[in-house]
Amino acid sequence: MTMFPRPLFNEDHEAFRAIVRRFCEKHVAPNHAQWAEDHIVPREIWQAAGALGMLNAWLPEEYGGVGDGILFDVIVNEELSRIGATGPGFSLHSLIVTPYVYHHGSDALKTRLLPKMVSGDAIAAIAMTEPSTGSDLAALKTSATQDGDGWLVNGQKTFITNGHNADVIVTACVTDPARGSKGISLLVIERGMEGFTRGRNLRKIGQHAQDTAELFFDNVHVPAENMLGQQNQGFKYMMQELVQERVMISVQCQARAEGVFRETLDYVSDRKAFGTRVIDFQNTRFTLADIKAQLMAGRAFCDQLMALHVEKKLDPVQAAAGKLWHSEMLGRVADACLQLHGGFGYMEEYPVARAYVDARIERIYAGTSEIMKEIIGRSLGQEAL
């Protein structure tokens, strides 16, 4: 599909993209339906991806990465999204959770955990959301109290992506209840810690291959070295990392929209109604033309966001605007493409049906569309448009 040149990516990036695409087509696409039935991706896939350098390539060589920025990991996100694979939570692992450990972890913690997070032997998750707390992080109830040479964690988290597979869980805890959002700290809770248990693998309306868990902490002793950064600075760290999380959602929404458009174009080119190919009806061509224009605008916007982020110039308002626009655009595109499939679009085995339900969460996690509008809206009195 004709788009624009992408100067962000060089020959090394494109050679890596070819490797990732082969991996996705050989190991992910044929197995994704079974993973959706199982509601989890086997750990062996993580290790196979790690062996190809598909996890945390951005990390310095001393921890097993390439140390050449985030674009190799962005390619992994794009290629998984291109085939509609929502199961392997590689992007969350590499570009959302790992930065917390790398930017704020002690040298000992980084040396112990990061190489395993590159190889796929340790899978990462982030635990913020609680049963009574979503976007309002200041209302967290999971607590961490000082306990000798560490912390005692009690509470519950929910909707945790990679939650059942996870070995390394960056967990937001209240360490000073009197200070609200300024009393939150981040602790790394690890598989096997006494008192840490997992609840059911949550059943969602979409993204079935992604394990999503409830987590429970009952007097879990966490050593002092597992605190990330300084005590009571967790909220600030989360706000800093949300810019990258939101631009990665723009990346995956754009790639998923392009993928479902390609699949729909193939379908309407083959499908006939009243003796005529569906693509030869004016309504079909106009609908696809409108989608194509949206995708071209989205690609230009997405790549500009990434370029700014690579240069460390992307601000929270720009990231919020991108997350808002791309997540809403994916919803529109998936809906229009489903309509062009007619009754088959409502059948679960068709990629467009999965794309439709999988798209819905993009407008919710990492901050709802309403929160994105609030972030953008608050900035309007501070600048001239």
- pLDDT, tens digit (0-9, with 9 covering 90-100), for 170-201: 999 999 998 988 999 999 999 999 999 999 99
In 3D, which of 252, 244, 265 has the Cα closest to residue 326?
Answer: 252
Tens-place pLDDT, residues 57-78: 999 999 999 998 999 999 999 9
Residue numbers annotated as active site? 245
pLDDT confidence of residue 277: 96
Domains for the chain: give ranges and CATH numbers.
11-123 (1.10.540.10), 125-232 (2.40.110.10), 236-382 (1.20.140.10)
Pairing of strands 143-147, 150-161: antiparallel
pLDDT confidence of residue 1: 60
Q: What is the mean pLDDT of the chain?
A: 95
pLDDT confidence of residue 176: 95
What share of the chain has pLDDT > 90, as a percent? 92
Average pLDDT over residues 197-219: 96
Tell me the C-alpha distance between 163 and 161, whole Å.
Answer: 5
Per-residue tokens: 184: 């939150």
pLDDT confidence of residue 381: 75
- Specify the 3-state DSSP secondary structure of 246: helix
Q: At what angle do helices 71-82 and 11-23 cross, to 10 degrees?
A: 40
Given a contact cutoff of 8 angstroms between Cβ atoms, the answer to whether 174 and 140 are in contact is yes
In 3D, which of 1, 20, 25, 22 has the Cα closest to residue 9?
Answer: 20
In 3D, which of 22, 26, 44 has the Cα closest to residue 88?
Answer: 44
Q: Which stretches of 92-179 are DSSP H helices?
A: 98-104, 107-119
Tell me the C-alpha distance between 188 and 169, whole Å.
Answer: 5
CA 77 from centroid of its chain's CA atoms: 8
Please determine, for residue 161, whether its predicted confidence score (pLDDT) is greater than 70.
yes
Confidence of residue 50 (pLDDT cuts 50, 70, 90): very high
Average pLDDT over residues 341-351: 94
Tell me the C-alpha distance between 109 and 102, whole Å.
Answer: 9
Please determine, for residue 2, whether its predicted confidence score (pLDDT) is greater than 70.
no
In 3D, which of 355, 363, 356 has the Cα closest to residue 84?
Answer: 355
Tens-place pLDDT, residues 250-305: 999 999 999 999 999 999 999 999 999 999 999 999 999 999 999 999 999 999 99
pLDDT confidence of residue 3: 74
